[in-house]
Amino acid sequence: MAARSRFPAGLALDTHKQQACGTPIVELALPAQVVLALDQGTGYGAEPVVAVGAAVAMGTLVARTDHPFASALHAPLAGTVVAIETRAAAVAGGRSVCIVIAGDGSDRVDDGVTPVPDADALSPDELAQRLRAAGIAGLGGAGFPTATKLASARDRRAQTLLLNGAECEPWICCDDALMRSAADDVVLGALILRRAAGAVRCVIAIEDDKPAAIAAVTGAIGRRRDDALTLEVIPAVYPQGAERQLVTTVTGVEVPSGGLPADAGVICQNVATAAAVARWATSGEPLLSRVVTVTGSGVERPCNVRAPIGTPLAALIAASGGYRGTPLRLIAGGSMTGRALPSDEVGLTKAMNCVFVATRDDIGARLGAVELPCIRCGDCASVCPAGLLPQQLHRAALADAHDALRDLGVRDCIDCGLCDYVCPSQIPLADRFRDAKRRLDEAAATAQKAADARQRHELHMRRLQEAATAEHRAFEDVRRRVRQPGDDPTDGAD
């Protein structure tokens, strides 16, 4: 049954999905080399466990981590580690330490890669640990380790696993293609994730502009005969795929400001993440590849490609027929929330769901446009899905007024870019809010550092004081013991 969109606003955008979604997923041949960024887009990196010159097979662990926001990395091809160095990467700041592996053309697989026949017998905790070790991360664009979200859901006793198949960005259709071609994997992964999260039900949410995916997933659900596994068809409204908005649409519950979906009893995972979990369970394969949309008017044949993590984007663009015309910008992600990339030499990351080769026709209207003063039309507020007042937020951001930014709820801004999209004055509102959030974070970190330093100083002074007091007491003790009546020549001198 179709649900209504229940978040405050949003917009039905013109889509360009048909350009890439008309053909089956292209399986990319193993590239000659992969460039694995230790930071896969979350801002936190794993630690290499291999050295330059090491021989690796497909699935060999090459970087490990205990950090909750970083994920382990495995060699997606057999070959030799030829460099570990800082390179251009699809991360904030544009650079990350990368492990570069040159392939040897063989299909050697690491001995540790074996099917997981006991996945059903593992406890939720064991399952999560195994998924962490396999480097499974959110493939919907965020890239955070799946195990971390599962732990948070169990801690908060979330009862519903919400599988996100909304995919509302206008150019991206890799999830659509995956659901159409591997619906049984999506459903198998959903069941494993439901158990790992300790949830009792699973809802798969798909936007109503994906009829083939809806049909395929409906069939796969029917084959499972599980009453606690259902499909919800939701309206195609941007940004329906954002977690908070999706939770509200499907459950009617609002995620509290500053909270997580788990605070509303829901854990969200992407459909592609579920398919990766199914691959791990059936073959033991850690996260070695993903499906990515390569699109935009700047490529000859937009398509969806399954490619090894770390594949240089130039190879993905070549698989799409190469560059067309004069692309203006290479963007990781979609036209609304994507980020510009420094070059096509960067490696595909787990978080990258789209390589958008944009021309002036695609994004030109907003690119380099002259920013005009706000005319107070209110259009930005009327579309904001978070119910914010972008016009006022903008004024606070320009004044760097931290209290006002907090009071106006800048933290609830989900960077969807809709306010930019409608602003007749071409004000880059979303960028300003992103910067404002970064400055708030920096100010909070500086304040925390100052508080820590103050606390350390106070502790230090207290210890000095205690040491001085102890020394004084010891001295007085000694003095008392040695100063018997009559010993002191000054005693009774008067």
List interacting residues with ligand SF4 (CB under 6 A). Answer: 374-380, 384-386, 388, 390-391, 394, 413-419, 422-425, 427, 429-430, 433
CB nearer to ligand SF4: pick between 189 and 385: 385
Q: Whole-angstrom Cα distance, residue 303 to residue 291?
A: 10
- Provide, rounded to whole angstroms, the least separation between the CB of residue 210 and ligand SF4: 23
Strand duo 354-358 + 339-340: pairing? unpaired
CB nearer to ligand SF4: pick between 199 and 386: 386
- Provide, rounded to whole angstroms, the least separation between the CB of residue 378 and ligand SF4: 5
Cβ proximity of 21 and 177 under 8 Å: yes
CA angle, residues 215, 159, 384, in degrees to nearest 5: 70
CB nearer to ligand SF4: pick between 84 and 416: 416
- Provide, rounded to whole angstroms, the least separation between the CB of residue 42 and ligand SF4: 20
State phi, psi for 186 to the nearest 5 degrees: -60, -45
CB nearer to ligand SF4: pick between 146 and 391: 391
Q: With 0-12 CB in 10 A as exposed, 13-18 as middle and 19+ as buried, what is 184? A: middle
Q: DSSP of 281-313, one letter per residue?
A: HHH---S-EEEEEEESTTBSS-EEEEEETT-BH
- Provide, rounded to whole angstroms, the least separation between the CB of residue 7 and ligand SF4: 10
- Provide, rounded to whole angstroms, the least separation between the CB of residue 172 and ligand SF4: 17
Beta bridge partners of 182: none
Cis check for the bond before 48: say yes or no (omega within 30 of 0).
no
The residue to which tokens 């794993």 are assigned? 46
CB nearer to ligand SF4: pick between 26 and 247: 247
Cβ proximity of 344 and 313 under 8 Å: yes
- Provide, rounded to whole angstroms, the least separation between the CB of residue 426 and ligand SF4: 8
